[in-house]
Structures are given as structure tokens and as C-alpha cells.
């Protein structure tokens, strides 16, 4: 069975523990995928195993980059054709400069949680999914090269359309970021679940 490495934070998670989210993602992605959830970054050292089709990041490690050897292993996995799907706080892998570059965008701050409507980008892999509304944190980002990103999702905040999801090629691999995911309840929304499914299938397509 194809494996997905789900990397997050169980202990000492400042804002977004993996507990609860892990069970929802495991149910969502089975039986096609065997989801292996861990908070141990040494798991990245095993990504050379061809059984791993994708890494999902729900890490809550804003000020603590993963160890150098682990960041190198994850970067090498992606560049050699692996997939990475970062969900909400999963972008905190940006604490390592190499992974920030791979992710394509850097989280800078967020205004208070509020009701947001998320709209898929036309012509993207999510274009068949309808807009949906959630109470979420409106993450804001800084981009070094916006032209390298394929827009996937936006939200409307104070009259402005803000990026909420993108896809990026990295070497032979694919990186996708989706902004929603503040609480386990977000992951129970059927439209967001479909977005996750589509993103997983796209990011791991080299194995199909």
C-alpha cells in the first residue's frame, strides 16, 4: 500500500496539535493510502523508501527548524520527485531557509480569526470544487517569486482577494499549500476534504 508521512506536533504544540487532525486525515485518505503520523523529524530520513508517495506537513514548529539532516532529506525527497502538501500551520517548516524556498511562500502574520469564504482559482486542480465558508485564521504571506506559483485558492478579506493556496514545482517534485486548517473541525468540512483529496492525488501523481 502507498504510504503518506504525516508530520506534525503532538507535544508542546503552541497552537495546532496534530492530535485529532491525524485521525480525520487517516480516515479521509484510506484505504488508498496508509498514513503514518509522527512528530519525529528523523522520519524524513526514511523517505528514500519508494513506498512513500507524499509528505503532509501539519507541523507547529514556528521557531524551531527541524534538524539540518532532516531538512536536507526532505528537500532531497521533493526535488527528486516526491510530493509535499502543507496544510495551514504546516508551512512552519519555513523555519529552515531551504524549506522556506521549497514552500514558495512565507507566513508573516494573521489578523484575528473570522468567517472567510474560500474560492478555488479558475483552471486550477481545485476549479471543480465550489467556494465554501469557514471560521478561519486569515494567514498573510510574503512571496519571493510569485510567478513560480500556480494559484489554487483565495479568500476575501476587507475587500481584497488574498492568496490561500498554491502549487509549485520543485525539481521533479510538487509542493502544494492550502491555508485552511486551524482546528480539526475545518478538516471535517466536506468541501475542504475534497480539496485535500485532489491535492494529494496531484502531488503524488509521479507514482500513479
Q: What is the pLDDT of residues 135-167, one digit of tens each?
A: 999 999 999 899 999 999 999 999 999 999 999
- pLDDT (tens digit per residue) in 101-117: 999 999 999 999 999 99
Q: What is the pLDDT of residue 45?
A: 98
Tally the residues of the chain. 208
Q: What is the pLDDT of residue 26?
A: 98
Q: What is the pLDDT of residue 174?
A: 97
Q: What is the pLDDT of residue 1?
A: 85
Q: How far apart are CA 183 and CA 17, in angstroms?
A: 9
Question: Domain limits at 110?
Answer: 2-207
Q: What is the pLDDT of residue 207?
A: 67
User: Which residue, among 39, 67, 36, has the nearest Cα to 52 in the 3D structure?
Assistant: 36
Number of domains the chain is built from: 1
The CATH number of residue 140's host domain is: 3.40.50.880
Q: Are 34 and 65 in contact (CB under 8 A)?
A: no
CA dist 5 → 67, 137, 149, 178, 192 (Å): 17, 25, 24, 17, 20
Question: 59 — phi, psi (to 5°)?
Answer: -65, 145
Q: What is the pLDDT of residue 205?
A: 76
**In the chain, which stretches have pLDDT less than 70?**
207-208
Q: How far apart are CA 126 and CA 152, in angstroms?
A: 6
User: pTM of the full predicted structure?
Assistant: 0.97
Q: Are 88 and 181 in contact (CB under 8 A)?
A: yes
Amino acid at each position: 500500500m502507498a504510504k503518506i508521512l504525516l508530520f506534525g506536533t503532538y507535544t508542546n504544540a503552541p497552537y495546532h496539535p496534530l492530535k485529532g487532525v491525524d485521525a480525520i486525515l487517516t480516515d479521509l485518505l484510506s484505504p488508498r493510502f496508509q498514513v503514518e503520523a509522527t512528530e519525529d523529524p528523523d522520519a524524513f530520513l526514511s523517505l528514500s523508501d519508494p513506498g512513500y508517495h507524499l509528505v503532509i506537513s501539519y507541523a507547529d514548529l514556528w521557531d524551531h527548524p527541524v534538524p539540518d539532516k532532516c531538512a536536507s532529506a526532505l528537500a532531497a525527497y521533493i526535488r527528486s520527485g516526491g510530493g509535499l502538501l502543507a496544510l495551514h500551520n504546516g508551512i512552519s517548516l519555513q523555519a529552515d531557509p531551504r524549506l522556506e524556498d521549497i514552500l514558495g511562500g512565507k507566513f508573516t502574520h494573521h489578523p484575528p480569526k473570522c468567517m472567510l469564504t474560500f474560492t478555488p482559482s479558475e483552471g486550477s486542480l481545485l476549479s471543480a470544487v465550489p467556494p465554501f465558508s469557514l471560521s478561519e485564521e486569515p494567514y498573510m504571506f510574503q512571496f519571493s517569486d510569485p510567478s513560480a506559483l500556480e494559484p489554487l485558492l483565495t479568500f476575501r478579506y476587507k475587500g481584497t482577494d488574498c492568496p490561500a493556496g498554491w502549487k509549485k514545482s520543485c525539481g521533479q517534485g510538487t509542493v502544494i499549500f492550502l491555508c485552511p486548517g486551524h482546528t480539526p473541525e475545518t478538516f471535517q468540512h466536506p468541501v475542504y476534504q475534497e480539496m485535500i483529496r485532489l491535492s494529494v492525488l496531484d502531488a503524488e501523481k509521479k507514482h500513479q
